[in-house]
């Protein structure tokens, strides 16, 4: 059963914690494309947080292309795009460069980064096959 | 003499039933909770917890004995009914007082590190229709249709009724008093049907989507236990709604028959739903106490899952361990920390308005009863 846990004691805002965990579940393949997520009210009720907090997390994930939100049918995990737009590619490349820079600053070597990337890609491929 | 024996028998049954349930309460609660306080998952196994439980058992035993003694004194003084009522008051007030005394003691023993759980909450991303929701919806529609039918039946029968209607009843269903016929007298019982049966169905619907307090970790066991508990409670309330509807519909139809002169007293048909309500209530208690546990406590027992999260682990939002008040939480209902079933989130405006509306309706009907 897929679960997410929030901690109000952390510095990271609650909406960002929710978005991060959903993003990771999608990236790992645990949440397949087309999967419906709980309604804002239900998730907010179970987590005991304001409705706007979950709505904000869902909107953020929609903007990032992870979710499709359609009125009454709720939020669904979107299918990967068939073609990547040039502007999106540029933006993601910038994020990748930032992450690489942070990894290098943290002392992670290029070989270790390459290994991490391969492991992540293999993990998400396995998740895709299972789904 | 027979009446004295029956009155005392009722008191004894009530004392052992209510007292026994109070003794059971701390034993069916979820791991981590102790007398309405979140104490952490390990506290319940310690000597301090066992000492509190022993004191609780002794206290409940003393309250039960006091209630019975008061009942016997009333009987010896020649007023068994007064003894019964005073004994019942001693029982309820004694158990409630004992709870708050124990709650205060337990709160003082609270380990400081448990408060870090207050900020945590776990939820599943599982989507599906909550168990018991469909049954509750069907029950609500059914109860409304039947209750409205009893109202229409009473109104249509009005012209064929006599000048007076029975409004006071003896224990065996005979007429103890009559009132001049009016729309108030003929619509009084159907109005109760229109309020009480749908109310239980609405509560069932609210329970079927009530807040779930899961444990940290994969959450499968606690989520399943919570879903089972929620479904069981929702189905119990839906069942209660149907039985109340059956009872009040039968009552309403029989009152109309008496008003038309087709019968002189209430028939035995009402005994069936009455008996079913009592038996169903007892059976529901047994199912929750023996099979499910409060919040699914018995079903999640033995699982290696982590600490409790969500509203249940949040001591700051509970008053006296029994009143949940959290303005940020959109949940209407949450499971009780101590006791059986669910309670309202009193920090939610909708919950407060719903409760005021329901009590307003019930009090209006009670007050109207004085004008019959």
B341, B153 contact by CB (below 8 A): no
Question: Do the Cβ atoms of A3 and B123 come within 8 Å?
Answer: yes
pLDDT value of residue B219: 60
pLDDT at A131 exceeding the cut of 60: no
Nearest to B212 among A5, A46, A50 (CB): A46
Pairing of strands B120-124, B37-38: unpaired
Q: Which residue has the higher pLDDT, A25 or A80?
A: A25
The separation between CA A93 and the C-alpha centre of its own chain, rounded to angstroms, equals 17
B365 class by beta-carbon count within 10 Å (0-12 exposed, 13-18 middle, 19+ buried): middle
Question: Do the Cβ atoms of A9 and B119 come within 8 Å?
Answer: yes
Q: Does A6 reach chain B within 8 Å, measured CB to CB?
A: yes
* Residues of chain A contacting B216 with CB distance shorter than 8 Å: 5
Question: Do the Cβ atoms of B214 and A3 come within 8 Å?
Answer: yes
Q: How confident is the model at residue A16 (pLDDT cuts 50, 70, 90)?
A: very high
pLDDT at B152 exceeding the cut of 90: yes
Nearest C-alpha in B relative to A7: B120
Q: How confident is the model at residue B218 (pLDDT cuts 50, 70, 90)?
A: low
State the best of B117, B121, B209, B228 to mutate against chain A, taking most chain A CBs within 10 Å. B121
Crossing angle of helices A14-27/A51-63, nearest 10°?
40
pLDDT value of residue A124: 63
Pairing of strands B120-124, A3-7: antiparallel
pLDDT at A128 exceeding the cut of 60: no
How many CB pairs lie under 8 A apart between chains A and B?
A: 87
Question: Do the Cβ atoms of A1 and B223 come within 8 Å?
Answer: yes
pLDDT at A129 exceeding the cut of 70: no
* Residues of chain A contacting B126 with CB distance shorter than 8 Å: 1-2, 38
Across all residues in chain A, what is the average pLDDT?
88
Nearest C-alpha in B relative to A73: B127
- Which residues have a Cβ under 8 Å from the Cβ of B320 and sit 6 or more positions away? B36, B100, B103
Residue B175 belongs to what H/E stretch? strand B175-180
The separation between CA B368 and the C-alpha centre of its own chain, rounded to angstroms, equals 25
| Rg of chain B over all Cα atoms, to the nearest angstrom | 24
Q: How confident is the model at residue B241 (pLDDT cuts 50, 70, 90)?
A: very high
ipTM value:
0.81
B143, B201 contact by CB (below 8 A): yes
pLDDT value of residue B336: 95
Could you please report the per-residue DSSP string of B289-354? IIII-GGGHHHHTT-----B-GGGG-GGGEETTTEE--TT---SEEE-SSSSSEEEBTTSHHHHHH
Nearest C-alpha in B relative to A49: B329
Q: Report angle CA B239, B240, B244 to the nearest 5 degrees.
A: 120
B344, B355 contact by CB (below 8 A): yes
Q: Which of B276, B222, B221 is nearest to B244 (CA)?
A: B276
* Residues of chain B contacting A74 with CB distance shorter than 8 Å: 127
* Residues of chain A contacting B217 with CB distance shorter than 8 Å: 3
Write the pLDDT tens digit of every residue in A52-93.
999 999 999 999 889 999 877 789 999 887 777 888 888 888
Q: Which of B10, B12, B33 is nearest to B339 (CA)?
A: B33
B121, A54 contact by CB (below 8 A): no
SS3 content of chain B, % helix, strand, coil (to 5): 65, 10, 25
pLDDT value of residue B138: 97
Could you please report the per-residue DSSP string of A15-44? HHHHHHHHHHHHHTTSS-TTPBPPPHHHHH
SS (H, E, C) B182-225: CHHHHHHHHHHHHHHHHHHHHHHHHHHCCCCCCECCCCHHHHHH
Span of B14-23, B72-81, B226-235 with lowest mean pLDDT: B72-81
Min distance A31 CA to chain B CA atoms (Å):
9
pLDDT at A130 exceeding the cut of 80: no
Report the predicted TM-score, pTM, of the whole model to 2 decimal places: 0.86
- Which residues have a Cβ under 8 Å from the Cβ of B289 and sit 6 or more positions away? B21, B24, B28, B340
Q: Which residue has the higher pLDDT, B300 or B200?
A: B200
């Amino acid at each position: 059963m897929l679960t997410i846990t929030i901690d109000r004691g952390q510095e990271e805002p609650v909406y960002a914690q929710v978005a991060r965990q959903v993003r990771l579940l999608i990236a790992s393949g645990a949440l397949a494309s087309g999967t419906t997520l709980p309604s804002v009210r239900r998730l907010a009720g179970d987590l005991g947080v304001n409705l706007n907090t979950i709505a904000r997390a869902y909107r953020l994930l929609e903007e990032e292309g992870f979710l499709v939100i359609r009125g009454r049918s709720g939020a669904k995990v979107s299918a990967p795009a068939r073609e990547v737009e040039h502007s999106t590619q540029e933006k993601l490349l910038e994020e990748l460069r930032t992450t690489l820079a942070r990894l290098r600053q943290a002392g992670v070597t290029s070989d270790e980064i390459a290994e991490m990337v391969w492991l992540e890609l293999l993990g998400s491929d396995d998740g895709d096959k299972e789904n | 003499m027979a009446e004295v024996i029956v009155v005392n028998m009722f008191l004894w049954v009530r004392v052992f039933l209510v007292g026994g349930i109070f003794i059971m309460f701390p034993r069916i609660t979820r791991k981590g909770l102790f007398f309405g306080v979140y104490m952490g998952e390990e506290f319940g196994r310690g000597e301090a917890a066992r000492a509190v439980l022993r004191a609780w058992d002794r206290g409940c035993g003393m309250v039960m004995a006091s209630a019975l003694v008061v009942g016997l004194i009333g009987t010896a003084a020649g007023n068994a009914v007064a003894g019964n009522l005073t004994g019942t008051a001693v029982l309820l007030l004694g158990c409630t007082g004992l709870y708050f005394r124990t709650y205060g003691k337990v709160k003082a023993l609270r380990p400081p590190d448990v408060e870090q759980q207050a900020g945590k909450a776990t939820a599943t991303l599982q989507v599906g229709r909550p168990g018991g929701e469909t049954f509750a919806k069907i029950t609500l529609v059914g109860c409304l249709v039947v209750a409205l039918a009893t109202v229409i039946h009473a109104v249509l029968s009005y012209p064929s009724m006599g000048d007076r209607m029975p409004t006071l009843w003896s224990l065996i269903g005979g007429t103890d008093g009559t009132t001049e016929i009016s729309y108030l007298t003929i619509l009084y019982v159907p109005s109760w049907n229109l309020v009480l049966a749908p109310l239980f169905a609405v509560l069932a619907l609210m329970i079927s989507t009530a807040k779930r307090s899961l444990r940290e970790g994969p959450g499968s066991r606690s989520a399943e236990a919570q879903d089972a508990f929620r479904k069981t409670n929702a189905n119990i309330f839906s069942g209660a709604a149907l039985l109340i509807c059956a009872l009040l519909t039968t009552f309403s139809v029989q009152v109309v028959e008496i008003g038309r002169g087709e019968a002189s007293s209430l028939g035995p048909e009402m005994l069936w739903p009455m008996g079913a309500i009592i038996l169903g209530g007892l059976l529901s208690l047994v199912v929750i106490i023996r099979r499910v546990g409060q919040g699914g406590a018995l079903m999640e027992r033995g699982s290696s899952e982590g600490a409790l999260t969500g509203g249940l682990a949040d001591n700051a939002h509970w008053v006296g361990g029994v009143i949940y008040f959290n303005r940020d939480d959109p949940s209407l209902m949450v499971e009780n920390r101590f006791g059986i079933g669910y309670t309202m989130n009193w920090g939610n405006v909708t919950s407060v308005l719903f409760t005021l509306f329901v009590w307003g309706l019930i009090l209006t009907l009670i007050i109207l009863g004085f004008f019959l």
